[in-house]
Structure 1
Amino acid sequence: MSPSIDSAKCVLVTGATSGIGRALALAIAALPSRPRVVGVGRRKDRLEGLKEAGIEAEEFDIDTDRTSTQLFVETMVQKYPDIDTIILGAGIQREFNFKKEVDLEKIATEMHVNYMAVVTMISLFMPHLLAKAATGQPCIIAPITSGLAYVSAVWVPNYSASKAALHSFCNSLRVQLEDTGISVIEISPPLVESELHDVEGTTEALSKFWVPLGVYTKDTIEGLQRGDNVVCSGMAKMAYEKFEQPKEQIISDMAKRTINRK
């Protein structure tokens, strides 16, 4: 089990201007423990709405280069030195049909936003979090993946692959950091009410099946408060428990054997 979100003093949330990211930022700010919440997003008008709700708001588009991300992280650490939790929720979803012409630039952008940008930000925040954890303050890294990381959706093959990569990364990172005081909590949503699908025009069709955002947010906050290593619900939970949960002990055992050989 990981530490509870209730122990957090300052939480930074990317993708906080819409959907799950925004809902979690608002819900965490409303916890009885009253952590400071920093909402990060690229849409200025939405950031103003966060400020009105009492959340610190910072403009940043994670679809950028490493130098710009490093400058952003350095700025955040200087401005909010109490950051002990990062929730990485920014993401995009595109449909691709490989029987037709595929835009490889869109493929690369989707993989960058959903995976490489997340790994980059985690890496750049790591020295700060390690130092914070060394003082005894529990720290949390919480990437948002997807139930599609476990069972892919054929109409969004690259999105599914990017989330599967992030899920695998979370498994490894959790074991690497288990003696540091930094916990890795994977937030894995099922199909949830969101603007994520607007670009492809599938929102109306998917709205017949998705979990209402309010219901999902409540379930997820409860999981974060319990300190679950993987916070999931609905179909994502069913897929995780059937296909992925059994692997966790194997991953841990493999890591121990590897370390013992060194």
Structure 2
Amino acid sequence: MPNIGDSKCILVVGATAGIGRALAKSLKALPSKPKVIVTGRRQERLNELAKEGFETAMVNIDTDRAGLKQFVDSIVSKYPEVDAVIFSAGIQHEFDFTKPETVDLDKLVSELNTNYTAIVTMITYFLPHFLKVASKGQPCFIVPITSGLGIVPGPWVPCYSATKAALHSYSISLNEQLRGTGVHVMEIMPPLVESELHDHQGKTPVLSKVWMPLDEYTKHEVDGLLRGDTFIPIGQTADNFEKFEKGKDEIARGSFKFIQSLNSS
């Protein structure tokens, strides 16, 4: 089974903090010694990672299609050997719809773009390169990082949960469409994990009592990537995946084959 250990060059989008940074460091330490490119919005953190031997690129993915196209083109041009991309960037806001006047629609749109639309856009722009590389025998990998809240939503973060559910659904469909091309989709599905994601909400002291330590999470994450698992649910998310999601991809595969047979008849 192809797995991330087969990669020669891995791009980690959103790697200046939290799970993205920890994952990038673990990937760089793999015995296969892939080149790891890290991106983020904070240049000072990218500078720190550059000192550790990472390739770096500054980008804010909450931008328009032209900006994302320019970013993808620049990566492919500078690193033609890139064969894997991991989408770790994400933002999370709380919205209270019982007080609709407090809902900041600009934040909501930004969350939707960062967590879903921009990722699908970048995947679309990366795919011609990946399909070409895969056609020559080098396996390629698209790795969205979703969330357990994409399976069982958190009503306090309704938009975040919806974006992760959308990305999870898209990942299933993308995996089916790319079956047999040599481009593999592996979806990482974290539980509540130690990170900076919640700092702006002021809940870190409370959440730190119940979240999964980052080191423990990262080990499970990398183990799944090295197995080549299509789905990598971790911690409580693994329980919810077993209860609500197991077998959904097989049903989707059957539906897709049926539609394909209709289109070819």
TM-score by length of 1: 0.98
Q: In structure 2, what residue type is equivalent to 1:174? A: N
State the alpha-carbon separation in 2 of the partners of residues 57 and 139 from structure 1: 20
The residue number in structure 2 matching 1:191 is 192
Hey, what does 1:58 align to over in structure 2? 57
Instruction: For residue 65 of structure 1, report the CA deviation from its aligned partner.
Output: 0.7
Unaligned runs of 5+ in 2: none
- C-alpha separation between the residues in 2 aligned to 1:139 and 1:200? 37
Mapped partners of 2:228, 2:180: distance in 1: 16
The offset of 1:49, in angstroms, is 1.3
Tell me what 2:77 maps to: 78
Tell me the residue number matched to 1:143.
144
Match of 1:213 in 2: 214
Deviation at 1:246, TM superposition (A): 2.2
2:118 is matched with 117
- SS in structure 2 at match of 1:199: helix
Give, in whole Å, the separation in 2 of the partners of 1:244 and 1:53.
39
Q: CA deviation at 1:53?
A: 1.5
CA-to-partner distance for each residue in 1:182-228, whole Å, 9 max, x for gaps?
00000110000000001111111111110000110011000000011
1:249 aligns with 2:243: no
AA at the equivalent of 1:92? I
Q: Which moved more, 1:145-154 or 1:101-110?
A: 101-110
Secondary structure of the residue aligned to 2:15 is coil
Report the AA paired with residue 221 of structure 1. V
1:1-262 alignment to 2 at 5 Å? 3-100=2-99, 101=101, 102-262=103-263
**How many angstroms apart in 2 are the aligned matches of 1:129 and 1:154?**
37
SS at 1:196 equivalent: coil
Kindly provide the amino acid, as one letter, of the partner of residue 238 in structure 2.
K
Which structure 1 segments of 5+ residues have no match?
none
Name the SS of the counterpart of 2:163 in structure 1. helix
**Cα deviation digits, residues 112-146 of structure 1 (max 9, x gap):** 10000100110000100010000000000001000
CA root-mean-square deviation: 0.7
The alignment's TM-score, normalised by the length of structure 2, stands at 0.97
Give the Cα separation in 2 of the matches to 1:245 and 1:177: 20
Letter of the aligned partner of 2:258 in structure 1?
R
Q: Percent identity?
A: 52
Report how many residues are paired: 261
Q: Distance in 2 between matches of 1:16 and 1:217?
A: 13
List 4+ stretches of structure 1 deviating above 6 A.
Answer: none
